């Protein structure tokens, strides 16, 4: 049985004291034994073999590279990057080591370093299919769809039966709204290797499914397979839930989504979260902002779309990005990266507020310029660039201090619909609050509390875009939206569904249609299964 989530520290699992140092052929034998064990999913035992090698030969590049791959399985990217960087330093012309390091940086969302090492891998070995696919994934995550297509198509030209390339192309085509060819690529991948989790889950996103769809049986079969990892099973439970939801089997769909959340093992300390927001509200008041008048840069180029995930942020960005003078950059991590310099997320829940309070005017201007440079790398011609990172709502004090003239658009939605939509999607561990219906309801109340505070104290205007109002009267709300950016109206914004761009959020379907009202009052379909959510929302749920 494959393991998932172990911690790669040898002392915790070594069955006996390390034997004497290995020599010569014994090192090669230990490496091969480790590789065989790793292929069988026995990660701890494989790591033991690699540690034996490194004890005997501390500069062994192969062992360091393999240790890095083990650490990725353990979701310890920090350790993986350490090992893989050492491997590349020892063997800079090894294309495999470069690919693995680039892939690790890709998972760490350091796209610049990922592109650097993956590009080097392809330079060393031009027909390296996996590296080409990884380069394509970098471009896909940067929302550069056509660049991504070029890399992945080159991989397919080299090997038309590459499951990695076929699946990668399918995922890209889903992002670009080309659902039928996406299905073809996923199905071809599955015809070659029937148990590819990524292809099965990708297939579930390509259409609305009717009762009796064979794809559900394929997914359920893979869930039961003995060699399916817990991580893969989480994704498959979500895919099964999505198909059941399409089929109108709402109670059963919630059961599968709940199984996924439970198996993921994500933890969320709601008490710590509330204490953090308490510190925000206590520190960032009207006096705080009045005392910092003149901070930041006067640029109007940034447009920040914030709010809870699944609140209409993708639709709002798509409307904006349909304007000829607005570029949609997607979910940029850079504001949170800047906030990390002020200890956002530190265990000391008051540290971010206290640290940001020490920022000087010069620092605010330097950080603002750093962010503008990021926007310029994404697009250097548009008059406005949209950063659609929903959780930047937490960081509005930093955003305002850097860009007092920026456009801030807050997307909101009927609370219970918003929470249900979050629960039915497979978010990363960052969204640990999405682990059960009760917790997500409590989290939503805290989000609502914080946004109410920001609306009262931040000097800049915040445009509140309610999802239900937008889908009920798209033209009126779209005009209000574009007006908030300070740009003249353009009729192209009403044809947002025709805008060709890569969309990587779960709203891919909705933004490809003229208008989508199917998510309004969605909660009513789920009956008593939502009782914990209704209770935790309290007075924010007004349909008892």
Q: Tens digit of pLDDT for each residue in 212-267?
A: 999 999 999 999 999 898 999 999 999 999 999 999 999 999 999 999 999 998 88
pLDDT in tens, 80-94: 999 999 999 999 999
**Whole-number pLDDT of residue 430:** 81
Phi, psi of 240, deg, nearest 5: -65, -40
Phi, psi of 410, deg, nearest 5: -105, 115
CA distance 99 to 79: 17
**Whole-number pLDDT of residue 411:** 98
**Taking the domains of the chain in order of start, what are their residue ranges?**
296-441+462-540
CB atoms within 10 A of CB 115: 18
Element (H, E) at 31: helix 25-39
List for the chain the helix, strand, coil content (%; round to 5): 65, 5, 30
Quote the DSSP letter at residue 501.
-
CA distance 117 to 68: 15
CA distance 384 to 481: 13
**Whole-number pLDDT of residue 7:** 43
pLDDT in tens, 380-394: 999 999 999 999 999
**Whole-number pLDDT of residue 1:** 27
**Whole-number pLDDT of residue 343:** 84
CA distance 393 to 398: 10
Write the CA distances from 105 to 99, 168, 503, integer angstroms.
Answer: 10, 18, 22
Tell me the average pLDDT of the chain. 91
Counting residues of the chain whose pLDDT is more than 90, the rounded percentage is 80
Quote the DSSP letter at residue 68.
H
Contact 222, 200 (CB under 8 A): yes
**Whole-number pLDDT of residue 519:** 74
Mean per-residue pLDDT for 369-373? 98
Length of the chain counted residue by residue: 544
CA distance 26 to 464: 66
Distance of CA 69 to the CA centre of its chain: 21
**Whole-number pLDDT of residue 75:** 82
pLDDT in tens, 4-56: 333 444 444 344 455 667 777 889 999 999 999 998 888 899 999 999 999 88
CB atoms within 10 A of CB 1: 11
**Whole-number pLDDT of residue 506:** 55
CA distance 64 to 246: 46
Distance of CA 55 to the CA centre of its chain: 37
Token code pair at residue 392: 């930047």
At residue 483, the 3 state secondary structure works out as helix
Phi, psi of 103, deg, nearest 5: -65, -35
Element (H, E) at 313: helix 313-321
Contact 402, 364 (CB under 8 A): yes
**Whole-number pLDDT of residue 275:** 95
Token code pair at residue 368: 């603002």
CB atoms within 10 A of CB 278: 16
Buried b (16+ CB within 10 A) or exposed e, 342-357: bbbeeeebbbbbebbe
Q: At what angle do helices 111-124 and 129-141 cross, to 10 degrees?
A: 150
Say which CATH superfamily domain 296-441+462-540 falls into. Answer: P-loop containing nucleotide triphosphate hydrolases (3.40.50.300)
């Amino acid at each position: 049985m494959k393991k998932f989530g172990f911690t790669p520290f040898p002392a915790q699992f070594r069955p006996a004291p390390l034997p004497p140092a290995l020599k010569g052929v014994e090192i090669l034998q230990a490496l091969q034994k480790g590789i065989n064990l790793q292929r069988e999913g026995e990660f701890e035992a494989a790591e033991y073999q690699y540690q034996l090698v490194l004890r005997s030969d501390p500069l062994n590049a192969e062992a360091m590279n393999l240790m890095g791959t083990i650490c990725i399985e353990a979701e310890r990217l920090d350790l993986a990057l350490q090992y893989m960087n050492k491997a590349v330093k020892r063997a800079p012309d090894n294309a495999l080591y470069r690919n693995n390091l680039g892939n690790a940086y890709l998972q760490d969302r350091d796209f610049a370093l990922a592109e650097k090492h993956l590009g080097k891998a392809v330079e060393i070995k031009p027909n390296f299919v996996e590296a080409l696919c990884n380069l394509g994934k970098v471009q896909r995550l940067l929302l550069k769809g056509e660049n991504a297509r070029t890399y992945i198509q080159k991989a397919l030209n080299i090997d038309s039966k590459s499951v990695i390339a076929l699946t990668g192309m399918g995922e890209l085509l889903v992002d670009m709204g080309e659902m039928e060819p996406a299905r073809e690529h996923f199905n071809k991948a599955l015809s070659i290797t029937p148990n590819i989790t990524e292809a099965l889950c990708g297939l579930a996103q390509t259409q609305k499914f009717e009762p009796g769809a064979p794809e559900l049986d394929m997914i359920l079969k893979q869930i039961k397979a003995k060699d399916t990892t817990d991580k893969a099973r989480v994704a498959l439970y979500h895919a099964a839930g999505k198909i059941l939801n399409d089929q109108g089997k709402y109670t059963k769909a919630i059961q599968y989504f709940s199984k996924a959340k439970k198996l993921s093992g994500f933890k969320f300390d709601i008490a710590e979260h509330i204490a953090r927001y308490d510190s925000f509200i206590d520190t960032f008041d009207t006096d705080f902002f009045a005392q910092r008048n003149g901070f930041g840069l006067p640029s109007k180029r940034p447009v920040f779309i914030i709010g809870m995930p699944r609140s209409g942020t993708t639709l709002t960005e798509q409307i904006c990005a349909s304007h000829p003078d607005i570029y949609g950059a997607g979910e940029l991590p850079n504001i949170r990266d800047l906030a990390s310099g002020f200890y956002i997320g530190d265990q000391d829940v008051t540290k971010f507020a206290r640290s940001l309070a020490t920022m000087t005017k010069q620092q605010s201007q330097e950080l603002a310029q750093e962010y503008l440079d990021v926007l310029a790398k994404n697009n250097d011609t548009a008059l406005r660039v949209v950063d659609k990172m929903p959780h930047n709502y937490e960081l509005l004090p930093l955003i305002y201090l850097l860009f007092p003239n920026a456009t801030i658009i807050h997307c909101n939605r009927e609370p219970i619909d918003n929470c249900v939509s979050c629960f039915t999607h497979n978010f990363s561990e960052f969204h640990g609050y999405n682990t059960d219906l009760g917790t997500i309801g409590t989290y939503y109340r805290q989000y609502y509390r914080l946004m109410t505070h920001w609306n009262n104290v931040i000097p800049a205007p915040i445009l509140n875009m309610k999802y239900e109002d937008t889908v009920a009267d798209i033209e009126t709300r779209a005009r209000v939206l574009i007006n908030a950016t300070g740009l003249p109206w353009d009729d192209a914004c009403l044809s947002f569904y025709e805008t060709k761009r890569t969309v990587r959020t779960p709203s891919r379907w909705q933004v490809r249609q003229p208008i989508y009202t199917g998510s309004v009052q969605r909660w009513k379909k789920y009956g008593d299964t939502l009782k914990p959510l209704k209770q935790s929302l309290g007075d924010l749920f007004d349909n008892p």
